[in-house]
A and B are shown apart, each in its own frame.
Chain A
């Protein structure tokens, strides 16, 4: 009974605080949106694109919104301190833009029930925590088609970071697409165990080219592989951002993460008072995944093929993971005509049939 009273009292206090804070928020004209970045804004990739989204909010909503950001926040417990600081400083909505901020975000959300949280690429939600990510694998599908068509050595080099589902999904999507237009294509995958180590990424790119790859794909954040491709007269795809500056001749296209539409929608909802926790996984259709303009080297028929695939994905006529697909060990995953469900894709921990080498364990 006593415990119940305690709980009740806590709830009343929390509600009161919430109501009072709401009053303060309403009195304050501008909504304050905060961003927690894992890297520097100047990384030219992942964090740069999130910051472009932040700037889009400022531009669109003018004096109805103010924004703050903290860059280079380490994933892990320290993130909680930074998030808490931001909430204490009066942020109304906080975007935490890396997978490793998941638990700190959930913890902070409990401490600040009147603040809205948005966590990128995670899977834990709460009443005041929404999650969002992009279907990058749709972009990988188009990259795979281009690579399969354009390779002369039939060898695609893939520089991967960590064996988490998002990266594995990208490799599988690209491979299946490349294979569908070029049955002889082979993928060589190198894991560099880092999101960002330009020296090591460059070494991996060199190793792949030395082993016969003439087109490179990457799931790491620096443009070093693009530079190496340019230097050695090979081709490559940009990652997260348009990397044409690093490879004016080498870049065939790039997957661009465009967070602006999502950030505009969510901050807009908060201003209108209609914000609710949700789980967004947007692809080409939402504008969250974009492709950079094709490089000069991409021939007209390949551009057509790529454009058609993109259109078909947007219209829902094409799913990059459509059966029959076997897992690498030969067991059946999807039957003919069957498409993958989001749950399996989000937890993908296996290679599809045809990819050589075994997947390093994620743990």
Chain B
């Protein structure tokens, strides 16, 4: 295999993984606050549509991405209202959010089917992009690929190095203690839901603005569920989300290339590989943590009721 093809493959892996990085971080920040949001798929596709529509109107990439984030956050706020204010079951609410997001985007997006988003310029990083192999593979991408790594860094710094992040994690670990200490559990969780919704929206927008670039209903095709699996895969750590997303992207892209080389594996095995990898990691995690309890946030998915 020549180096040019190899660098093209690495380039494609980064592109295929980027929506998963954003959506995975969006799920992670909510789960760290103790919120299990199964609506990631719905948030992604609503963000995908919002970003696409704004890009069609001729706005620059940054504006389209912000619109996607706002759309995701707006829809997520509905989830927040249901779960935090109405104390609705988070599992059912999350599933409803996915179905609602898919339906809403299909309805609102029907008129945009068949249109193309304007092309996004590639940022060639000076000097670095001239290095053979490495330049094409890592330093000749659209801005959002760099943005996803920046986002992971910011999320990591916020959660692990900042005081508000510590509070957020405390809420996720034990909401009753956090409440007793005077923190607003519902307020913090709501902010986490907004941030997570925004990140999921950006992940969806990456599909419509850069990866395909088009909009059709249902085009997230299960990536929201992979993002949820990724968070478990990453044992709730931001940089492991990146590693996990790249691993998923790698499985996808390498299987496509192996087919084009004439190495054939039954198509069903290929399509289940990413999910198989998740199951294996889950087994590994639970085996490793045997007797030590859950590795996830202790209050994850539990409804918080103020008991005065």
A contacts, CB < 8 Å to B: 40, 42-44, 157, 162-163, 188-194, 196-204, 206-208, 210-211, 213, 222-224, 227-228, 230-231, 245-246, 356-361
B218 interfacial by beta-carbon distance below 8 Å: yes
Cβ-defined contact, B9 with A42, below 8 A:
no
Query: Cβ of B115: which chain A residues have Cβ within 8 Å of it?
Result: 245
Chain A's nearest CB lies how many Å from the CB of B110? Answer: 4
Q: B114, B219, B263 — which one has the most chain A CB atoms within 10 A of its CB?
A: B114
If A191-B259, A196-B218 touch, whether A44 touches B207 (CB-CB below 8 Å) is no
A162–B271 alpha-carbon span in the complex (Å): 11
A192–B260 alpha-carbon span in the complex (Å): 11
If A210-B8, A245-B114 touch, whether A193 touches B268 (CB-CB below 8 Å) is yes
Among B86-94, B180-188, B209-217, B292-300, the stretch in contact with A: B209-217
Chain B: CB-nearest residue to A161: B267
Query: Cβ of A361: which chain B residues have Cβ within 8 Å of it?
Result: 266
Count of B residues near A, CB < 8 Å?
43
Cβ-defined contact, A198 with B221, below 8 A:
yes
Q: A188, A206, A213, A228 — which one has the most chain B CB atoms within 10 A of its CB?
A: A206
Query: Cβ of A208: which chain B residues have Cβ within 8 Å of it?
Result: 260
B265 interfacial by beta-carbon distance below 8 Å: yes
A190–B271 alpha-carbon span in the complex (Å): 12
Query: Cβ of A202: which chain B residues have Cβ within 8 Å of it?
Result: 211-212
B223 interfacial by beta-carbon distance below 8 Å: yes
B contacts, CB < 8 Å to A: 5, 8-9, 12, 15-16, 19, 106, 109-110, 113-116, 119, 207, 211-214, 216-221, 223, 252-253, 256-257, 259-268, 270-271
A337–B183 alpha-carbon span in the complex (Å): 84
A162–B270 alpha-carbon span in the complex (Å): 12
A199–B8 alpha-carbon span in the complex (Å): 17
If A190-B256, A199-B211, A203-B253 touch, whether A162 touches B216 (CB-CB below 8 Å) is no
Cβ-defined contact, A203 with B114, below 8 A:
no
If A227-B213, A231-B119 touch, whether A194 touches B270 (CB-CB below 8 Å) is no
Chain A: CB-nearest residue to B6: A210
Cβ-defined contact, B216 with A357, below 8 A:
no
If A196-B218, A198-B221, A227-B116 touch, whether A40 touches B106 (CB-CB below 8 Å) is yes
Task: Beyond the given A203-B252, A203-B256, A360-B265, please list 4 additional residue pairs across the A-B interface where CB-CB is below 8 A.
Answer: A192-B267, A206-B12, A230-B116, A231-B213
- For A357, give its contact among B219, B221, B259 (CB under 8 Å): B259
Cβ-defined contact, B110 with A204, below 8 A:
no
Query: Cβ of B223: which chain A residues have Cβ within 8 Å of it?
Result: 199
Cβ-defined contact, A210 with B216, below 8 A:
no
A357–B263 alpha-carbon span in the complex (Å): 6
A358–B116 alpha-carbon span in the complex (Å): 35
A192–B255 alpha-carbon span in the complex (Å): 10
If A42-B217, A199-B223 touch, whether A190 touches B260 (CB-CB below 8 Å) is yes
Chain B's nearest CB lies how many Å from the CB of A136? Answer: 20
- For B113, give its contact among A44, A200, A204, A359 (CB under 8 Å): A44
- For A194, give its contact among B212, B216, B221, B253 (CB under 8 Å): B221
Cβ-defined contact, B12 with A207, below 8 A:
yes
Chain B's nearest CB lies how many Å from the CB of A234? Answer: 14
Chain A's nearest CB lies how many Å from the CB of B40? Answer: 15
If A207-B256, A357-B259 touch, whether A246 touches B214 (CB-CB below 8 Å) is yes
Cβ-defined contact, A211 with B116, below 8 A:
no
Chain B's nearest CB lies how many Å from the CB of A199? Answer: 6
Chain A's nearest CB lies how many Å from the CB of B258? Answer: 9
Chain A's nearest CB lies how many Å from the CB of B13? Answer: 9
Cβ-defined contact, B221 with A360, below 8 A:
no
Cβ-defined contact, B259 with A43, below 8 A:
no
Chain B's nearest CB lies how many Å from the CB of A26? Answer: 38
Chain B's nearest CB lies how many Å from the CB of A52? Answer: 14
Q: A157, A198, A211, A230 — which one has the most chain B CB atoms within 10 A of its CB?
A: A198
Chain B: CB-nearest residue to A224: B212
Cβ-defined contact, B114 with A223, below 8 A:
yes
Query: Cβ of A40: which chain B residues have Cβ within 8 Å of it?
Result: 106, 110, 216-218
Cβ-defined contact, A189 with B259, below 8 A:
yes
- For B19, give its contact among A157, A199, A359 (CB under 8 Å): A199
Chain B's nearest CB lies how many Å from the CB of A13? Answer: 42
Chain A: CB-nearest residue to B117: A227
Cβ-defined contact, B256 with A157, below 8 A:
no
Cβ-defined contact, A227 with B9, below 8 A:
no
Cβ-defined contact, B267 with A200, below 8 A:
no
30 contacts between A and B (CB under 8 A): A42-B106, A42-B217, A189-B260, A190-B256, A190-B259, A192-B256, A193-B271, A196-B218, A198-B221, A199-B207, A199-B212, A201-B212, A202-B212, A203-B211, A203-B256, A206-B12, A207-B257, A208-B260, A210-B257, A211-B257, A211-B261, A222-B214, A224-B212, A224-B214, A227-B116, A227-B212, A358-B264, A359-B264, A360-B266, A360-B268
A157–B260 alpha-carbon span in the complex (Å): 8
Chain B's nearest CB lies how many Å from the CB of A349? Answer: 14
Cβ-defined contact, B12 with A356, below 8 A:
no
- For B267, give its contact among A157, A162, A224 (CB under 8 Å): A162
A350–B301 alpha-carbon span in the complex (Å): 50
- For B262, give its contact among A203, A230, A356 (CB under 8 Å): A356
Query: Cβ of A230: which chain B residues have Cβ within 8 Å of it?
Result: 116
